[in-house]
Amino acid sequence: MNSRERFLTALTGGKPDRAPLAHVAAMTTVELQQSTGCFMPAVHLDAEQQARLMAANHDTLGFDAVSFIINFFGEPAALGAEMDWGAPDRLPTFKSNPWRTPEDAVIPEDLFDRQPLKTCLETIRTAKQRYGDRMAVLGKIMGPFSMLQAMHGVENVLMELLDSPSQIAAFLDVCVEALVRHANAQFEAGADAVSIGEGGAGARMLSPAAYETCLLPVHRRMIARIQGPTILHICGDVRSRLHLLAQTGMTCFNFDWAVSPAEMTAAAAGRYTVMGNINTTDLLCAGPAELARQVEENLAAGVHIISPGCATSPRCPNANLRALADAIARH
Partner 1 sequence: MSELQELTQAVIKGDRNKAKQLTQTLLDQKVVPMDIVEKGLVPGMAEVGDRFKRNEYFVPEMLIAARAMKEAMAMLEPLLAKAGIKPKYTAVLGTVQGDLHDIGKNLVGMMWKGANIGVVDLGSNVSADKFVAAVKQHNAQIVGLSALLTTTMPAMKDTVQAIRNAGLKTVKVVIGGAPITQEFANEIGADAYAPDAASGVDVAMKTVAP
Point out which residues bind partner 1 (CB under 8 A).
89-90, 93, 154-155, 158-159, 161-163, 204-207, 210, 240, 280-281, 284-285, 312-315
CB of 259 closer than 8 Å to CB of 277: yes
- What value, to the nearest 5°, has the Cα angle with vertex 249 and ends 187 and 127? 20
Q: Which stretch binds ligand B12 (CB under 6 A): 122-130, 163-171, 177-185, 310-318?
A: 310-318
Q: Which residues pair with 140 in a beta bridge?
A: 195
Query: Where does residue 103 rank: exposed (0-12), middle (13-18), buried (19+ CB within 10 A)?
Result: exposed
**Nearest CB to ligand B12, comparing residues 20 and 309:** 309
**Nearest CB to ligand B12, comparing residues 124 and 234:** 234
Under the binding rule (CB under 5 A), the answer on residue 310 touching Zn ion is yes
Q: At closest approach, how far in Å is the CB of 219 from partner 1?
A: 18
**Nearest CB to partner 1, comparing residues 51 and 151:** 151
Contact code string over 178-217 relative to Zn ion, x by CB under 5 A: ---------------------x------------------
Under the binding rule (CB under 5 A), the answer on residue 235 touching Zn ion is yes
- What value, to the nearest 5°, has the Cα angle with vertex 313 and ends 308 and 314? 115
Q: At closest approach, how far in Å is the CB of 214 from partner 1?
A: 10
Q: Which one of 111, 154, 170, 285 is in contact with ligand B12 (CB under 6 A)?
A: 154
CB of 49 closer than 8 Å to CB of 68: no
Helices 144-152/165-188 angle, 10° precision: 120
Q: At closest approach, how far in Å is the CB of 163 from Zn ion?
A: 26
**Nearest CB to ligand B12, comparing residues 41 and 199:** 199
Under the binding rule (CB under 6 A), the answer on residue 229 touching ligand B12 is no
Query: Measured at CB, which residue is nearest to ligand B12?
Result: 202
**Nearest CB to ligand B12, comparing residues 8 and 324:** 324
> Which helix or strand (DSSP H or E) is residue 58 part of?
helix 47-59
Q: At closest approach, how far in Å is the CB of 255 from Zn ion?
A: 9
Q: What is the DSSP string of 265-317?
A: HHHHTTSSEEEEEE-HHHHHHS-HHHHHHHHHHHHHHT-SEEEESS---TTS-
Chosen from partner 1, ligand B12, Zn ion, none, partner binding at 221 (C-beta under 5 to 8 Å by type)? none
**Nearest CB to ligand B12, comparing residues 144 and 202:** 202
Under the binding rule (CB under 6 A), the answer on residue 83 touching ligand B12 is no
Q: Which stretch binds Zn ion (CB under 5 A): 162-170, 171-179, 271-279, 305-313?
A: 305-313
CB of 261 closer than 8 Å to CB of 298: yes
The C-alpha atoms of residue 9 and residue 6 are separated, in whole angstroms, by: 5
CB of 137 closer than 8 Å to CB of 131: yes
HSE-CB at 90 with a 13 A cutoff on CA atoms is 8
Q: At closest approach, how far in Å is the CB of 24 from Zn ion?
A: 10
Under the binding rule (CB under 6 A), the answer on residue 174 touching ligand B12 is no
Q: What share of the chain is helix, strand, coil (3-state, %, to 5)?
A: 55, 10, 35
HSE-CB at 140 with a 13 A cutoff on CA atoms is 26
Using CB under 6 A as the binding criterion, the count of chain residues that bind ligand B12 stands at: 19
